[in-house]
Amino acid sequence: MQLKIMGLILAGGKGTRLSPLTRERAKPAVPFGGKYRIVDFVLSNFINSGIYSIYVLIQFRSQSLLQHLRDGWQFGGLLQEQFIIPVPAQMRSPGETWYSGTADAVFQNANLIEQSKPDLVVLFGADHIYRMDIRQMVEFHSKKNAGVTIAVIPVDKKYAKEFGVIEVDKDGRIIGFVEKREDAPTMPGDPTKVLASMGNYIFSSELLLKMVYEDVKNPESSHDFGKDILPALIGKVEMFAYDFQTNRIAGDPPEGMPYWRDVGTLDAYYEASMDVRAIDPPLNLYNRQWPLRTSGYSDPPAKFAFDEEQRRGQAIDSMVSGGCIISGGIVKRSVVGRWVRVHSGALVEDSIIFDNVDIGRRAKIRRAIIEKNARIPEGAVIGYDLEEDAKHYHVTETGIVIVEGHRSPVPLGSI
Ligand code: ADQ
Protein backbone atom coordinates (compact mmCIF):
# COMPACT_ATOMS: atom_id res chain seq x y z
CA MET A 1 0.00 0.00 0.00
CA GLN A 2 1.26 3.44 -0.91
CA LEU A 3 1.42 5.61 2.22
CA LYS A 4 0.10 9.13 2.08
CA ILE A 5 2.80 11.43 3.40
CA MET A 6 2.74 15.09 4.34
CA GLY A 7 5.98 17.01 4.78
CA LEU A 8 6.24 19.72 7.43
CA ILE A 9 9.42 21.75 7.60
CA LEU A 10 10.15 23.78 10.73
CA ALA A 11 11.82 26.86 9.29
CA GLY A 12 11.08 29.47 11.91
CA GLY A 13 14.25 29.42 14.00
CA LYS A 14 15.99 32.69 14.84
CA GLY A 15 19.49 31.29 14.50
CA THR A 16 20.77 33.79 17.05
CA ARG A 17 24.22 32.18 17.24
CA LEU A 18 24.72 32.74 13.51
CA SER A 19 24.36 36.49 13.91
CA PRO A 20 25.24 38.72 12.06
CA LEU A 21 24.36 36.38 9.17
CA THR A 22 20.84 36.05 10.62
CA ARG A 23 20.40 39.76 11.34
CA GLU A 24 18.31 40.27 8.22
CA ARG A 25 17.16 36.73 7.46
CA ALA A 26 15.95 33.53 9.13
CA LYS A 27 18.59 30.84 9.51
CA PRO A 28 17.14 28.60 6.78
CA ALA A 29 17.57 31.51 4.32
CA VAL A 30 21.30 31.95 5.06
CA PRO A 31 23.33 31.40 1.86
CA PHE A 32 25.42 28.25 1.67
CA GLY A 33 27.72 26.80 -0.97
CA GLY A 34 27.62 29.88 -3.22
CA LYS A 35 24.24 29.74 -4.91
CA TYR A 36 22.21 27.81 -2.33
CA ARG A 37 20.36 28.58 0.91
CA ILE A 38 20.46 26.27 3.96
CA VAL A 39 16.77 25.36 3.46
CA ASP A 40 17.59 23.94 -0.01
CA PHE A 41 19.14 20.88 1.66
CA VAL A 42 15.99 19.71 3.43
CA LEU A 43 13.72 20.69 0.53
CA SER A 44 15.91 18.76 -1.92
CA ASN A 45 15.84 15.77 0.44
CA PHE A 46 12.03 15.86 0.41
CA ILE A 47 11.67 16.25 -3.36
CA ASN A 48 14.38 13.72 -4.19
CA SER A 49 12.62 11.29 -1.81
CA GLY A 50 9.30 11.73 -3.60
CA ILE A 51 7.59 13.83 -0.90
CA TYR A 52 5.75 16.54 -2.80
CA SER A 53 3.13 17.87 -0.33
CA ILE A 54 5.15 20.24 1.79
CA TYR A 55 4.28 23.02 4.19
CA VAL A 56 7.13 25.23 5.38
CA LEU A 57 6.39 26.76 8.79
CA ILE A 58 8.00 30.17 8.89
CA GLN A 59 8.32 32.91 11.45
CA PHE A 60 11.20 35.25 12.23
CA ARG A 61 12.57 37.55 9.51
CA SER A 62 10.93 35.50 6.84
CA GLN A 63 10.96 37.89 3.89
CA SER A 64 14.20 36.59 2.39
CA LEU A 65 13.06 32.98 2.92
CA LEU A 66 9.68 33.69 1.32
CA GLN A 67 11.33 35.27 -1.68
CA HIS A 68 13.65 32.31 -2.05
CA LEU A 69 10.74 29.85 -1.84
CA ARG A 70 8.85 31.86 -4.44
CA ASP A 71 11.83 32.16 -6.80
CA GLY A 72 13.09 28.63 -6.52
CA TRP A 73 10.48 26.30 -5.20
CA GLN A 74 7.19 27.00 -6.94
CA PHE A 75 5.83 24.01 -8.72
CA GLY A 76 2.67 22.03 -9.14
CA GLY A 77 -0.50 23.61 -10.38
CA LEU A 78 -1.77 20.53 -12.19
CA LEU A 79 -1.80 18.09 -9.30
CA GLN A 80 -3.47 19.27 -6.13
CA GLU A 81 -1.21 17.24 -3.87
CA GLN A 82 2.03 18.70 -5.22
CA PHE A 83 2.97 21.96 -3.53
CA ILE A 84 5.42 23.79 -1.30
CA ILE A 85 3.48 26.33 0.74
CA PRO A 86 5.01 28.65 3.34
CA VAL A 87 2.76 29.13 6.36
CA PRO A 88 3.26 31.87 8.94
CA ALA A 89 1.70 31.61 12.42
CA GLN A 90 -2.09 31.34 12.15
CA MET A 91 -2.71 32.85 15.61
CA ARG A 92 -4.75 29.79 16.56
CA SER A 93 -3.11 29.30 19.96
CA PRO A 94 -5.11 30.38 23.00
CA GLY A 95 -3.31 33.72 23.29
CA GLU A 96 -3.40 34.28 19.49
CA THR A 97 0.37 34.35 19.49
CA TRP A 98 3.21 33.71 17.06
CA TYR A 99 4.55 30.16 17.15
CA SER A 100 5.70 29.86 20.74
CA GLY A 101 7.69 26.68 20.02
CA THR A 102 7.97 23.90 17.45
CA ALA A 103 4.99 21.97 18.87
CA ASP A 104 2.88 25.12 18.83
CA ALA A 105 3.89 25.65 15.18
CA VAL A 106 2.39 22.24 14.38
CA PHE A 107 -0.65 22.85 16.60
CA GLN A 108 -1.44 26.09 14.80
CA ASN A 109 -1.49 24.17 11.53
CA ALA A 110 -3.25 21.04 12.76
CA ASN A 111 -6.12 21.77 10.37
CA LEU A 112 -3.81 21.14 7.40
CA ILE A 113 -3.18 17.63 8.70
CA GLU A 114 -6.86 17.10 9.53
CA GLN A 115 -7.97 18.18 6.08
CA SER A 116 -5.67 16.02 4.01
CA LYS A 117 -5.49 13.04 6.42
CA PRO A 118 -2.03 11.72 5.60
CA ASP A 119 -0.88 8.41 7.13
CA LEU A 120 2.43 9.92 8.15
CA VAL A 121 3.79 13.37 8.83
CA VAL A 122 7.47 13.79 8.06
CA LEU A 123 8.44 16.66 10.37
CA PHE A 124 11.97 17.95 9.72
CA GLY A 125 14.05 20.94 10.76
CA ALA A 126 15.46 23.32 8.17
CA ASP A 127 18.80 24.13 9.73
CA HIS A 128 21.14 21.38 8.60
CA ILE A 129 23.59 20.52 5.85
CA TYR A 130 23.08 16.92 4.75
CA ARG A 131 21.54 14.65 2.17
CA MET A 132 19.10 11.99 3.24
CA ASP A 133 16.96 9.54 1.33
CA ILE A 134 13.88 9.88 3.51
CA ARG A 135 12.25 6.84 1.85
CA GLN A 136 14.68 4.66 3.81
CA MET A 137 13.57 6.23 7.09
CA VAL A 138 9.88 5.86 6.14
CA GLU A 139 10.50 2.19 5.36
CA PHE A 140 12.18 1.72 8.74
CA HIS A 141 9.28 3.48 10.50
CA SER A 142 6.72 1.25 8.76
CA LYS A 143 8.65 -1.97 9.37
CA LYS A 144 8.91 -1.17 13.07
CA ASN A 145 5.24 -0.25 13.23
CA ALA A 146 6.38 2.84 15.10
CA GLY A 147 4.31 5.75 16.32
CA VAL A 148 7.34 8.03 16.14
CA THR A 149 10.77 7.61 14.57
CA ILE A 150 13.62 10.01 15.26
CA ALA A 151 16.70 10.22 13.02
CA VAL A 152 19.88 9.95 15.10
CA ILE A 153 23.62 10.31 14.68
CA PRO A 154 26.50 9.85 17.15
CA VAL A 155 28.24 13.11 18.08
CA ASP A 156 31.07 13.94 20.42
CA LYS A 157 29.96 14.02 24.08
CA LYS A 158 31.10 17.64 24.46
CA TYR A 159 28.19 18.70 22.18
CA ALA A 160 25.54 16.95 24.33
CA LYS A 161 24.16 20.25 25.58
CA GLU A 162 23.32 21.35 22.03
CA PHE A 163 21.16 18.35 21.13
CA GLY A 164 18.38 16.08 22.18
CA VAL A 165 20.16 12.92 23.37
CA ILE A 166 18.60 9.51 23.00
CA GLU A 167 18.99 6.16 24.73
CA VAL A 168 17.99 3.03 22.87
CA ASP A 169 17.58 -0.64 23.70
CA LYS A 170 19.20 -3.34 21.57
CA ASP A 171 16.34 -3.21 19.03
CA GLY A 172 16.67 0.53 18.49
CA ARG A 173 13.60 1.31 20.63
CA ILE A 174 13.95 4.69 22.35
CA ILE A 175 13.98 4.32 26.13
CA GLY A 176 15.32 7.73 27.11
CA PHE A 177 15.33 11.28 25.75
CA VAL A 178 16.90 14.33 27.35
CA GLU A 179 17.02 17.73 25.68
CA LYS A 180 20.27 19.72 25.73
CA ARG A 181 21.88 18.49 28.93
CA GLU A 182 25.58 18.38 29.69
CA ASP A 183 25.11 15.21 31.75
CA ALA A 184 23.30 13.34 28.95
CA PRO A 185 23.94 9.57 28.85
CA THR A 186 26.74 8.42 26.57
CA MET A 187 26.47 5.58 24.08
CA PRO A 188 26.84 2.04 25.36
CA GLY A 189 30.37 0.91 24.57
CA ASP A 190 31.57 4.42 23.68
CA PRO A 191 31.75 6.89 26.58
CA THR A 192 33.08 9.62 24.24
CA LYS A 193 29.87 9.84 22.21
CA VAL A 194 26.19 10.58 22.64
CA LEU A 195 23.41 9.60 20.27
CA ALA A 196 21.99 12.92 19.07
CA SER A 197 18.55 13.58 17.67
CA MET A 198 18.85 15.26 14.27
CA GLY A 199 15.57 17.10 14.90
CA ASN A 200 13.95 15.05 12.10
CA TYR A 201 10.85 13.07 13.05
CA ILE A 202 8.29 10.81 11.42
CA PHE A 203 4.96 10.67 13.22
CA SER A 204 1.81 8.74 12.56
CA SER A 205 -0.63 11.61 11.92
CA GLU A 206 -3.06 10.56 14.62
CA LEU A 207 -0.42 10.48 17.30
CA LEU A 208 0.99 13.84 16.24
CA LEU A 209 -2.42 15.49 16.39
CA LYS A 210 -3.17 13.93 19.76
CA MET A 211 0.15 15.15 21.17
CA VAL A 212 -0.11 18.75 19.98
CA TYR A 213 -3.75 19.04 21.15
CA GLU A 214 -2.76 17.78 24.60
CA ASP A 215 0.32 19.98 24.70
CA VAL A 216 -1.53 23.21 24.01
CA LYS A 217 -3.67 22.62 27.08
CA ASN A 218 -0.67 22.10 29.34
CA PRO A 219 0.26 25.36 31.06
CA GLU A 220 3.62 23.89 32.15
CA SER A 221 4.71 23.15 28.59
CA SER A 222 7.12 25.26 26.54
CA HIS A 223 5.45 23.74 23.44
CA ASP A 224 8.62 22.26 22.05
CA PHE A 225 9.17 18.80 20.58
CA GLY A 226 12.58 18.32 22.17
CA LYS A 227 11.68 19.68 25.61
CA ASP A 228 8.07 18.55 26.01
CA ILE A 229 6.54 16.20 23.45
CA LEU A 230 9.29 13.62 22.91
CA PRO A 231 10.35 13.08 26.55
CA ALA A 232 6.66 12.67 27.45
CA LEU A 233 6.24 9.85 24.92
CA ILE A 234 8.90 7.57 26.40
CA GLY A 235 7.38 4.25 27.39
CA LYS A 236 3.94 5.24 26.10
CA VAL A 237 4.19 4.59 22.35
CA GLU A 238 6.47 2.62 20.05
CA MET A 239 9.31 5.04 19.43
CA PHE A 240 12.36 4.13 17.39
CA ALA A 241 15.73 5.66 16.51
CA TYR A 242 16.62 5.61 12.82
CA ASP A 243 20.39 5.32 12.41
CA PHE A 244 21.30 7.97 9.84
CA GLN A 245 24.64 6.25 9.27
CA THR A 246 22.81 3.50 7.41
CA ASN A 247 21.29 5.97 4.92
CA ARG A 248 22.67 5.67 1.40
CA ILE A 249 22.30 8.07 -1.49
CA ALA A 250 22.00 6.57 -4.97
CA GLY A 251 25.04 7.36 -7.08
CA ASP A 252 27.41 7.89 -4.12
CA PRO A 253 30.37 5.57 -3.57
CA PRO A 254 29.13 2.75 -1.25
CA GLU A 255 31.85 3.25 1.34
CA GLY A 256 31.10 6.97 1.91
CA MET A 257 29.73 7.91 5.33
CA PRO A 258 26.67 10.18 5.42
CA TYR A 259 27.51 13.78 6.26
CA TRP A 260 25.37 15.88 8.63
CA ARG A 261 26.21 19.22 10.18
CA ASP A 262 24.24 21.47 12.44
CA VAL A 263 25.59 24.85 11.32
CA GLY A 264 24.51 26.46 14.58
CA THR A 265 27.53 28.71 15.04
CA LEU A 266 29.60 30.85 12.69
CA ASP A 267 32.59 28.54 13.14
CA ALA A 268 30.49 25.44 12.35
CA TYR A 269 29.03 27.24 9.34
CA TYR A 270 32.51 28.12 8.10
CA GLU A 271 33.80 24.56 8.58
CA ALA A 272 30.83 23.01 6.75
CA SER A 273 31.30 25.44 3.85
CA MET A 274 34.96 24.47 3.59
CA ASP A 275 34.01 20.77 3.73
CA VAL A 276 31.64 21.16 0.81
CA ARG A 277 34.06 23.11 -1.38
CA ALA A 278 36.89 20.60 -0.79
CA ILE A 279 38.16 18.74 -3.84
CA ASP A 280 37.18 15.40 -2.36
CA PRO A 281 34.17 16.59 -0.33
CA PRO A 282 32.37 14.55 2.33
CA LEU A 283 29.09 15.86 0.89
CA ASN A 284 29.04 15.72 -2.89
CA LEU A 285 26.99 18.36 -4.70
CA TYR A 286 27.98 16.88 -8.06
CA ASN A 287 26.02 13.62 -7.82
CA ARG A 288 23.45 14.02 -10.59
CA GLN A 289 21.23 11.34 -9.10
CA TRP A 290 20.71 13.53 -6.04
CA PRO A 291 20.51 17.11 -7.30
CA LEU A 292 20.63 19.93 -4.78
CA ARG A 293 17.88 22.18 -6.07
CA THR A 294 17.59 25.94 -5.66
CA SER A 295 16.43 28.99 -7.59
CA GLY A 296 16.67 28.63 -11.35
CA TYR A 297 18.84 31.72 -11.68
CA SER A 298 19.51 32.88 -15.21
CA ASP A 299 23.02 34.06 -14.37
CA PRO A 300 25.71 33.99 -17.03
CA PRO A 301 28.61 31.56 -16.34
CA ALA A 302 31.44 32.67 -14.09
CA LYS A 303 34.21 34.33 -16.09
CA PHE A 304 37.95 34.38 -15.46
CA ALA A 305 39.92 37.18 -17.06
CA PHE A 306 43.51 35.91 -16.88
CA ASP A 307 46.50 38.21 -17.08
CA GLU A 308 49.30 36.11 -18.65
CA GLU A 309 52.08 38.34 -17.46
CA GLN A 310 50.99 38.55 -13.82
CA ARG A 311 49.60 34.95 -13.80
CA ARG A 312 46.46 36.32 -12.19
CA GLY A 313 42.74 35.95 -12.86
CA GLN A 314 41.95 32.48 -11.58
CA ALA A 315 40.23 30.42 -8.90
CA ILE A 316 41.90 27.35 -7.38
CA ASP A 317 40.23 24.66 -5.23
CA SER A 318 37.13 26.85 -5.05
CA MET A 319 33.45 26.97 -5.97
CA VAL A 320 32.50 30.05 -7.98
CA SER A 321 28.85 30.85 -8.76
CA GLY A 322 27.23 32.34 -11.85
CA GLY A 323 27.57 35.98 -12.78
CA CYS A 324 31.06 36.29 -11.21
CA ILE A 325 34.01 37.90 -12.92
CA ILE A 326 37.44 37.12 -11.49
CA SER A 327 39.39 39.74 -13.33
CA GLY A 328 43.11 39.71 -12.63
CA GLY A 329 42.54 38.56 -9.03
CA ILE A 330 43.22 35.19 -7.38
CA VAL A 331 40.72 33.10 -5.40
CA LYS A 332 41.96 30.08 -3.42
CA ARG A 333 40.06 27.48 -1.34
CA SER A 334 36.95 29.67 -1.21
CA VAL A 335 33.22 29.63 -1.84
CA VAL A 336 32.08 32.52 -4.00
CA GLY A 337 28.42 33.55 -4.36
CA ARG A 338 26.69 35.05 -7.39
CA TRP A 339 27.70 38.26 -9.17
CA VAL A 340 30.97 38.80 -7.31
CA ARG A 341 33.79 40.87 -8.80
CA VAL A 342 37.41 40.21 -7.83
CA HIS A 343 39.53 42.95 -9.30
CA SER A 344 43.11 43.06 -10.44
CA GLY A 345 45.76 42.07 -7.92
CA ALA A 346 43.22 41.06 -5.25
CA LEU A 347 43.83 37.83 -3.29
CA VAL A 348 40.99 35.89 -1.61
CA GLU A 349 41.92 32.79 0.42
CA ASP A 350 39.94 30.33 2.60
CA SER A 351 36.91 32.61 2.55
CA ILE A 352 33.19 32.66 1.91
CA ILE A 353 31.94 35.49 -0.27
CA PHE A 354 28.18 36.12 -0.51
CA ASP A 355 26.34 37.51 -3.54
CA ASN A 356 27.05 40.81 -5.20
CA VAL A 357 30.31 41.58 -3.37
CA ASP A 358 32.94 43.77 -4.96
CA ILE A 359 36.57 43.14 -3.99
CA GLY A 360 38.72 46.10 -4.90
CA ARG A 361 42.12 46.03 -6.59
CA ARG A 362 44.99 44.59 -4.54
CA ALA A 363 42.70 43.83 -1.54
CA LYS A 364 43.87 40.83 0.54
CA ILE A 365 41.29 38.66 2.31
CA ARG A 366 41.95 35.57 4.38
CA ARG A 367 39.62 33.38 6.52
CA ALA A 368 36.66 35.74 6.23
CA ILE A 369 32.95 35.66 5.51
CA ILE A 370 32.00 38.68 3.40
CA GLU A 371 28.27 39.35 3.42
CA LYS A 372 25.97 40.28 0.59
CA ASN A 373 26.49 43.59 -1.23
CA ALA A 374 29.72 44.40 0.66
CA ARG A 375 32.24 46.69 -1.02
CA ILE A 376 35.85 45.91 -0.11
CA PRO A 377 37.90 48.97 -0.91
CA GLU A 378 41.09 48.95 -2.96
CA GLY A 379 44.08 47.74 -0.97
CA ALA A 380 42.03 46.61 2.07
CA VAL A 381 43.59 43.88 4.24
CA ILE A 382 41.25 41.51 6.13
CA GLY A 383 42.13 38.43 8.16
CA TYR A 384 45.87 39.13 8.65
CA ASP A 385 45.79 41.15 11.87
CA LEU A 386 42.85 39.93 13.95
CA GLU A 387 43.30 42.52 16.69
CA GLU A 388 42.97 45.26 14.14
CA ASP A 389 40.06 43.47 12.42
CA ALA A 390 38.20 43.13 15.73
CA LYS A 391 38.01 46.94 15.91
CA HIS A 392 35.89 47.01 12.76
CA TYR A 393 34.33 43.60 12.34
CA HIS A 394 32.97 40.62 14.24
CA VAL A 395 35.75 38.03 14.74
CA THR A 396 34.79 34.50 15.81
CA GLU A 397 36.50 32.30 18.41
CA THR A 398 38.59 30.56 15.77
CA GLY A 399 39.50 33.83 14.07
CA ILE A 400 37.02 34.04 11.19
CA VAL A 401 36.32 37.67 10.30
CA ILE A 402 32.72 38.55 9.40
CA VAL A 403 32.39 41.60 7.19
CA GLU A 404 28.82 42.86 7.14
CA GLY A 405 27.24 43.81 3.86
CA HIS A 406 24.65 46.35 2.87
CA ARG A 407 20.91 46.02 2.92
CA SER A 408 20.16 47.68 -0.36
CA PRO A 409 21.76 46.03 -3.33
CA VAL A 410 23.78 47.93 -5.84
CA PRO A 411 21.94 47.02 -9.08
CA LEU A 412 23.10 43.65 -10.39
CA GLY A 413 25.71 43.89 -13.08
CA SER A 414 26.45 47.53 -12.41
CA ILE A 415 29.90 46.89 -11.00
P1 ADQ B 1 17.30 23.09 18.08
O2 ADQ B 1 17.71 23.12 16.66
O3 ADQ B 1 18.10 23.88 19.05
O4 ADQ B 1 17.18 21.58 18.58
P5 ADQ B 1 14.91 24.60 17.66
O6 ADQ B 1 15.53 25.93 17.86
O7 ADQ B 1 13.55 24.36 18.20
O8 ADQ B 1 15.76 23.47 18.24
O9 ADQ B 1 14.87 24.35 16.07
C10 ADQ B 1 14.38 23.17 15.45
C11 ADQ B 1 13.87 23.53 14.06
O12 ADQ B 1 12.65 24.24 14.18
C13 ADQ B 1 14.77 24.44 13.25
O14 ADQ B 1 14.72 24.07 11.89
C15 ADQ B 1 14.20 25.83 13.46
O16 ADQ B 1 14.43 26.66 12.33
C17 ADQ B 1 12.74 25.53 13.64
N18 ADQ B 1 12.03 26.39 14.59
C19 ADQ B 1 12.45 26.85 15.81
N20 ADQ B 1 11.49 27.58 16.41
C21 ADQ B 1 10.43 27.59 15.56
C22 ADQ B 1 9.14 28.19 15.60
N23 ADQ B 1 8.76 28.91 16.64
N24 ADQ B 1 8.34 28.00 14.52
C25 ADQ B 1 8.72 27.26 13.47
N26 ADQ B 1 9.93 26.69 13.37
C27 ADQ B 1 10.77 26.83 14.39
C28 ADQ B 1 16.41 20.64 17.83
C29 ADQ B 1 15.85 19.56 18.73
C30 ADQ B 1 16.99 18.74 19.32
C31 ADQ B 1 17.85 18.20 18.18
C32 ADQ B 1 18.36 19.36 17.34
C33 ADQ B 1 19.15 18.90 16.14
O34 ADQ B 1 15.04 20.14 19.74
O35 ADQ B 1 16.47 17.69 20.09
O36 ADQ B 1 18.95 17.47 18.70
O37 ADQ B 1 17.24 20.09 16.83
O38 ADQ B 1 19.80 20.00 15.56
Between CA 404 and CA 389 the distance in angstroms is 12
**Whole-number pLDDT of residue 257:** 86
pTM of this prediction exceeds 0.90: yes
CA atoms within 13 A on the CB side of 29: 28
Cα–Cα distances in Å, from 83 out to 3, 69, 77, 111? 17, 11, 8, 17
363-384 mean pLDDT: 97
pLDDT per position as a tens digit, 233-252: 999 999 999 999 999 999 99
Ligand 1 atom at minimum distance from 13 CA: 16
Task: Please tell me the distance between residue 308's alpha carbon and the centre of ligand 1 in angstroms.
Answer: 51
Ligand 1 atom at minimum distance from 227 CA: 34
Between CA 327 and CA 356 the distance in angstroms is 15
Domains recognised in the chain with CATH numbers: 5-277 (3.90.550.10), 303-403 (2.160.10.10)
Ligand 1 atom at minimum distance from 226 CA: 34
Greater model confidence, 270 or 188: 270
- Alpha-helical (H) ranges within 218-351 are 230-233, 266-277
Ligand 1 pocket, residue 59 CB under 6 Å: yes
Task: Please tell me the distance between residue 382's alpha carbon and the centre of ligand 1 in angstroms.
Answer: 34
Given a contact cutoff of 8 angstroms between Cβ atoms, the answer to whether 148 and 236 are in contact is no
Looking at every residue in the chain, the average pLDDT score rounds to 93
